[in-house]
Structure 1
Amino acid sequence: MTAFVALIRGIGPGDPRKSNESLRGVLEELGFTGVKSVISSGNVIFESDSDNDSDVDALGNRIEAAWPELRGFTALTVVRSAEQIAHLLEQRPFGDVEHGKASYQFVTFFKQPLAAPPEPPADFPVAVNRIVDGALCNQVDTTSTGGPEVMKWLDKTFKKQTTSRTPLTLARILKKMEG
């Protein structure tokens, strides 16, 4: 069995259809095993008999198609294996800089890997803007622009076909996948 994580866009507390229990229930209904949640923002770990990373698109599409059918909502779903998450983190896209307000770091995932980073607006203090394993890695000084402004830019640029996580969240996900 291979460990994967479903990174689900737009999940937060307040909607019972999107609770951790409900999200896990969908993956269990689809026949996946070892289903676990990591924080309440749409990170669901599961195991599948798929044995290679090339199946992540098919797994993501299968899970994404189940949301409206089984829970009545739509949500972009990107799947990555534990190996893919580990490799991305091993690349250290932010170097030795610690995550904080002046160096807010996030990794944006796409259904289809991105080939080149988009050019951010000139008024965004983006210190890192590069692609690592098909994901966009940004580091922004949120003390001057605020994180939401950057997310609005990404949503407009990519028409909400993304989902983002901090490297700290990705490390928590990986730890739970390996544990």
Structure 2
Amino acid sequence: MHRYAALLRGIAPSNPNMTNDKLRGVFEGLGLEDVGSVLASGNIVFSSPATDVPVLERRVQRALAEELGIPGGTIIRAHTELRALLDSDPFPGLTHGRGTYLTATFLKDGATAPVRLPEQPDPLTRVVGYNPAARVFLAVIDNSDPGRTPDFMSWLDRTYGKDITTRTWLTVQRIVKKLEG
């Protein structure tokens, strides 16, 4: 059995079809095991003998759309990928806080990796890098003005569309802890 985390895009916990119990129910209905949730924002951990992640992503997404009407993207990462990402310590000496967000933006399997990172003229974002093994952009976002969307986040949306989802570094740490617990 392999441990995985599904990072679901566009989950609104206030939507009655997007509650953790309903999300877990879809995963359990697919025969996935050890299903759990992390926070209330579409982070589901589970076990499966499957090793073809793109096929697993499509299977989960199809079930979410059919059973709960959730059209958003499903991105799945193996526990080993997330553990290696944490162990790489991409944010040395930095802490996630109210005004400064440490973020990880995951690309769907099969998405084209960047040839080069975008220029960084945006004073709200410092791009730390791109981790090809986990297929994730890492950035530090100045969130002191929540009314402004950093140019980097807009670039990600324009470049990758719905084939991405962003989590705070704290959430990634919580997901790995749940996978290991």
| TM-score, structure 2 as length reference | 0.87
Matched position secondary structure for 1:3: strand
| Greater shift in the superposed pair: 146-155 or 95-104 | 146-155
Q: Which amino acid aligns with 2:170?
A: L
Aligned to 1:85: 82
2:118 is matched with: 119
Q: Which residue of 2 aligns with 1:69?
A: 66
- Partners of 1:33 and 1:64 lie apart in 2 by 17
Letter in structure 1 aligned against 2:172: L
- The number of equivalent residue pairs is 175
Counterpart in 1 of 2:15?
Answer: 15
Cα deviation digits, residues 54-104 of structure 1 (max 9, x gap): x22221111011112111221200001111110111111111111124431
Matched-pair contact (CA < 8 Å) for 2:103–2:169: yes
Which structure 1 residue ranges, 5 or more long, are not aligned? none
Q: What's the offset of the Cα at 1:30?
A: 0.6
Instruction: Render the CA deviation track for 1:94-139: whole Å, top value 9, x for unaligned.
Output: 1111112443111001113524454156233322331013200111
Contact between 2:125 and 2:142, CA under 8 Å: does it hold in 1? yes
Q: Which residue of 1 aligns with 2:28?
A: 28
**Distance 1:67-1:148 versus aligned 2 partners, 3 A rule:** farther
Secondary structure of the residue aligned to 2:156 is helix
Counterparts of 1:14-163 in structure 2, within 5 Å, are: 14-50=14-50, 52=51, 55-111=52-108, 112=110, 114-116=113-115, 118-119=117-118, 122-132=121-131, 133=133, 134-143=135-144, 146=146, 149-150=149-150, 151-163=153-165
Cα distance in 1 for residues equivalent to 2:116 and 2:137: 7
Name the CA distance, whole Å, in 1 between partners of 2:88 and 2:147: 23
Q: Does 1:6 align with 2:9?
A: no
Distance 1:147 1:92 in 2: 29
Whole-angstrom CA distance in 2 between matches of 1:13 and 1:120: 35
Identity %: 37
Normalized against structure 1, the TM-score is what?
0.88
Measure, in 1, the Cα distance between the counterparts of 2:179 and 2:171. 12
Structure 2: state its 5+ residue gaps. Answer: none
Q: How large is the Cα RMSD of the aligned pairs?
A: 2.0
CA distance in 1, matches of 2:164, 2:56: 17
Letter in 2 for 1:39: L
Q: Mean alpha-carbon deviation: is it higher for 32-41 or for 151-160?
A: 151-160
